[in-house]
Structure 1
């Protein structure tokens, strides 16, 4: 039987005519489709937490990443102390700020490698040993930490004779103790006594096994370089690969059962914790629509990505944790990204996760951290 297919699209409705001999059947199919996600890959991760009133997403995301790494290698889910890494990083930031005589950013921000640097030097502690919360506090609030630290550090740098904090190292430690408490030298975990270094050994985390991948055109590919972004106070190295390889690397890692720590820009209106999606619509008039309905997205080229980075439309706003892959009803894939803004809010949807389209990822990602074994075919070290 001969069949002819005609398609006429107008407004938001597609009309399909099926001509079969002397009978015409008209079927109306709406072109507006609400997202319907199904899981492709879902790797074990700890519960979503809230970073509270802090700029410490870098520690929450990387600690979550380490928790998944420990689970991958041991089958044990350990709740890592984010604030142990934060406290140690503040000491490193203070040293860096003093040695550069205040001519560098000093803030709550950081990057994934700052956690790894702290782990390498100071070990790890579990949350039950050190939470960084004092008294009856249940939410982290670091609003006063940086101002208090800067007051001491700036006075030292200016050689202020009237300053009562001539020993800035002691003063910094005292300020951190006031706001975050002091970690115990030893602690019990599951009935065994550890210190931070022996606990690290127990987890089998080796910081040198991790690499930070990025993709920019101002440096040669397959080489390491220091990315000049404000939060890279510790001059961490990034391994540069072509953009298509960066996406392939994430996909390969996830397929092998590895998660990734993600540094990206979330300032776009189409990054929505409320709706739990991050989309890059091709039509700017579809910004609001894209939070609920499938839209056509931008084709992101390496050149466009570079341009957006150099004009500061893409900055290192926020770090999160890629733990899986989902797809919509059309087969389009999105990364499942664990956020650190909690779950108990009218502004937080999708149980604290964000489904990030690959278009958004390609344009707005600064870098990802992953175990070297997951991407061994992409790196030439």
Structure 2
């Protein structure tokens, strides 16, 4: 009985006794570990930009993704105009809103495939030819664009004769010209003249090479479907695959040197641009700690992922660009995500990049857009692409 009681003597008492002995025993207590990241894969990408006061992350992410794709094929890094894609997409949004008689969302938001749609129809231009900034502006601010456009569209839908509403297309174009600037018919780049279509041809970028992958349970795996989310105004097609295959597809693409455009939810407190990490702690009381220190993360099942999507805890908040892979000192892997909220400052960590853990990715990812050449051969066969 005395031996049993001895086992329950407090640790502090034992430590005190051992310290007093000539042959003291050193007790090692594992220290909490701050993140220390090592690069595993790093794909060439342009510098981090700021989308400013706009909801155009979709074009910043999509354009950055295209820049990396052009670099991979040509070795040339071209600064693509984000606002050209935005300017060309607004009329399509307006048409969709009018034809649905105002019974759909009209906003600044969009998705990666909207950039591809714009490029396919209207070509590409470099940032130097179309910045979308007027007069002396240094920062994008679109706070008044949607309200002004929607006023015109709603007047037409309501058949407001006093507003001269039948000219809504002309009015939309006029507003966009004032806010973002007129689209150039031609421009000079590196001493040569192009128009948007010929510039696209020069880059050799082919929109047919790209697919969007997702993983949800409401549709059969290895099928194509239209994902019903608010920003999918253009009815983009998604390939549905199992969750583990989605992670494997991203890992394989990165290993093959292909980056990806990412649509995900960033509303969690554990997604932090300030600390430059996005993690999913298993314990709720570690939500603050996990931004600085390595903690145990949750295991994510397809069923839980589906539940969080259906109850709106996971929504298509934000688009970014996956440009690599890093690991911490415990060999946990994180995707290196290029954000569009500016570079390094007191409020932005990791030079504007976010290191996203795989548990966070599994739960919060809506979709990824990727060059199908970078995917596993077995997946391409299953998807018939």
Same fold, judged at TM 0.5 (above): yes
State the match for 1:66 in structure 2.
66
Indicate whether 1:162 and 2:174 are aligned.
no
SS at match of 1:39: strand
Query: How many angstroms apart in 1 are the aligned matches of 2:25 and 2:276?
Result: 39
User: Does residue 365 in structure 1 map to residue 331 in structure 2?
Assistant: no
Which digits, 9 at most, give the CA deviation of each residue in 1:241-287, with x for residues without a partner? Answer: 00000000000000000000000000000000000000000001000
Task: State the superposition RMSD in angstroms.
Answer: 1.5
Aligned residue number for residue 252 of structure 1 = 252
Q: Which runs of 5+ in 1 are unaligned?
A: 1-9, 16-22
Q: Distance in 1 between matches of 2:375 and 2:314?
A: 25
Aligned equivalents of 2:344 and 2:164: distance in 1?
Answer: 43
Give distance in 2, aligned partners of 1:157 and 1:345.
Answer: 45
**Structure with bigger gyration radius:** 2
Check conservation: 2:226, 2:236, Cα contact below 8 A: yes
- Residue 18 of structure 1: aligned partner: none
Q: Report SS of the residue matched to 2:139.
A: coil
Greater helix percent: which structure? 2
* Cα distance between partner residues in 2 of 1:124 and 1:245: 33
- Please list the CA deviations of residues 50-101 of structure 1 after superposition, one character each: whole Å capped at 9, or x if unmatched: 0000000000000000000000000000000000000011010001111111
Residue 204 of structure 2: aligned partner: 204
What is aligned with 2:232? 232
**Other-structure match for 1:294:** 294
Q: Match of 2:4?
A: none
Question: Structure 1 residues 24, 250: closer, same or farther in 2, change over 3 A?
Answer: farther
* Cα separation, 2, equivalents of 1:361 and 1:39: 18
The residue matched to 2:354 in structure 1 has which SS?
strand
| 1:183-204 CA distance string (max 9 Å, x none) | 2100011011100011011111
Equivalent positions of 1:26-175 (< 5 A) are 26-175=26-175
C-alpha separation in 2, matches of 1:114 and 1:207: 11
Deviations 1:11-67 (A, max 9, x none): 9xxx9xxxxxxx885341424110010000001000000000000000000000000
Query: Aligned partners of 1:118, 1:156: CA distance in 2, in Å?
Result: 25
Which contiguous aligned blocks of 4+ residues in structure 1 show a shift greater than 4 angstroms?
Answer: none
| Residue aligning to 1:3 | none
Report Cα offsets for 1:154-184 as digits up to 9, x if no partner. Answer: 0001111111342111000000011001121
Equivalent-residue separation in structure 1 for 2:137 and 2:199 (angstroms): 26
Q: TM-score, normalised by structure 1?
A: 0.93
Aligned-residue offset at 1:344: 5.0
Q: Quick one: distance in 2 between partners of 1:269 and 1:344?
A: 20
Q: Match of 1:326, SS?
A: strand
Distance 2:137 2:166 in 1: 31
> TM-score by structure 2 length?
0.92
Structure with the larger strand share: 1
Matched with 2:275 is 275
Q: Is 1:184 aligned with 2:184? A: yes
1:106-134 CA-partner distances (Å, limit 9, x unpaired): 00000000000000000000000000001
Which one is further off, 245-254 or 367-376? Answer: 367-376
Corresponding pairs, count: 363
Distance 2:158 2:345 in 1: 44
Whole-Å separation in 2 of the counterparts to 1:210 and 1:223: 16
Aligned 8 A contact 2:344 2:350 in 1 = no
